[in-house]
Amino acid sequence: FAINMDQLQLDEELGKGNYGTVKKVLHKPTNVAMAMKEIRLELEDSKLNAIIMELDVLHRAVAPEIVEFYGAFFIESCVYYCMEYMDAGSLDKLQAAGVPEDVLARIAACMVRGLKFLKDDLNIIHRDVKPTNVLVNKKGQVKLCDFGVSGELDKSLAKTNIGCQSYMAPERIRGESQNNLGTYTVSSDVWSLGLSMIEMGMGKYPYPPETYSNVFAQLTAIVHGDPPELPEAEYSETARDFVARCLKKEPSARATYKELLEHPFLIKDQTSDVDMVAWVEKAVAFKQAAAIIAAQATLPESV
Ligand code: ATP
Ligand code: MG
């Protein structure tokens, strides 16, 4: 079925990214809660139509580790993209509660399976692996979203922003594989996976912008510095080795998805009885408490 705006009842805003806003919506004909992403693009209708058509392959991206795609449409110069609503949000906002090793292993297993499915079954390279693009629900499921399927959309979004948190692999920062979309290889996603795991393990992005005087210094650290590691005090040698295999500076030295799935860190996860539902519940409560404290801090003193 094709979705259109008339069928949607708009609810609260879920978040804002560099390119648009995500809102919770209700699809009235089916009574399904969805997340709708609005991306403003100053393009002519033929280009917008091409983007909608390219997004259509997302209907085939059906797997337990992939956020479901419901459809896309455009109005004026905005593309609207409807996907599965994930009621615990993205990992960047859940990691503050702490990510114990067994939870990190389950998240990594889901991410690797999702990325491998995209590559093997659909020949899609994600291109934007980072904690904001890993979504969680209260059932304890972990799913990937926002992977690059539309060359036209990528071209229209590009240039604008590299952001202050780069998950790009060193070879991409150096520009070796940026000359066209085709040369971006799957190993660049493996780097971003490793960096995302470090962020979850440390509770913060490992190259914090405040440490560097400018973006150039920060990117130089990624390209020329030693890769970050999981903290020794909190994670086992196995966990640390898994991440180290993702964060090799040389792309060809990085593990493949098959190798990562066979790594003792993920083998152990197969028989782990980690309670993801309990962890998500705790992390959501922590996030809500932090939001209340932040709101109070901004109230004028007289209140
Ligand atoms: P960028 O613009 O660099 O991709 P981003 O991923 O944070 O950054 P968006 O993809 O626009 O930006 O998403 C904004 C926020 O909306 C996310 O950080 C996430 O918390 C929330 N969000 C996105 N998709 C969903 C979804 N399907 N269900 C629930 N929340 C979502
Ligand atoms: Mg996103």
Nearest-angstrom CA–CA distance, 167 and 132: 11
Residue owning the nearest CA to atom 15 of ligand 1: 15
Which residue is catalytic, options 11, 87, 102, 128? 128
**Nearest-CA neighbor of 64 among 136, 10, 142?**
142
Is residue 52 predicted with pLDDT exceeding 80? yes
Residue owning the nearest CA to atom 18 of ligand 1: 132
Q: Residue 220 carries which side chain, given as an amino acid letter?
A: T
Task: Give DSSP secondary structure letters for the chain.
Answer: ----GGGEEEEEEEEE-SSEEEEEEEETTTTEEEEEEEEE----HHHHHHHHHHHGGGGG---TTBPPEEEEEEETTEEEEEEE--TTEEGGGTGGG---HHHHHHHHHHHHHHHHHHHHHH----S--SGGGEEE-TT--EEE------HHHHHHHTTS---SS----HHHHHTTT-SSGGG--HHHHHHHHHHHHHHHHHTS-SS-GGGSSSHHHHHHHHHHSPPP---TTTS-HHHHHHHHHH--SSGGGSPPHHHHHTSHHHHHHHT----HHHHHHHHHHHHHHHHHHHHHHTS-TT-
Structure confidence by residue, pLDDT tens digits, 281-300: 999 999 999 999 988 888 77
Ligand 1 pocket test: pick from 13, 14, 69 the residue with the most ligand atoms within 8 Å of its Cβ: 14
Is 128 known to be catalytic? yes
Average pLDDT over the chain reads 92
Q: Which atom of ligand 1 is nearest to the CA of 85?
A: 28
pLDDT for position 183: 58
Contact 274, 105 (CB under 8 A): yes
pLDDT for position 150: 85
**Nearest-CA neighbor of 71 among 82, 80, 62, 61?**
82
pLDDT for position 266: 98
Backbone torsions φ then ψ of 9, nearest 5 degrees? -105, 120
Residue owning the nearest CA to atom 11 of ligand 1: 17
Query: Distances from the Cα of 98 to the Cαs of 74, 95, 168, 204, 220, in angstroms?
Result: 39, 5, 24, 10, 29
Task: Please state the rounded mean pLDDT for residues 128-145.
Answer: 97
Q: Which atom of ligand 1 is nearest to the CA of 37?
A: 11
The residue assigned the tokens 């934007």 is 128
- How far is Cα of residue 83 from the mean position of the Cα atoms in its chain? 14
Confidence of residue 186 (pLDDT cuts 50, 70, 90): very high
Global confidence as pTM: 0.93
Span of 94-108, 157-171, 195-209 with lowest mean pLDDT? 157-171
Q: What value of ipTM does the predicted structure carry?
A: 0.98
Q: How far is the CA of 208 from the centre of ligand 2 (A)?
A: 20
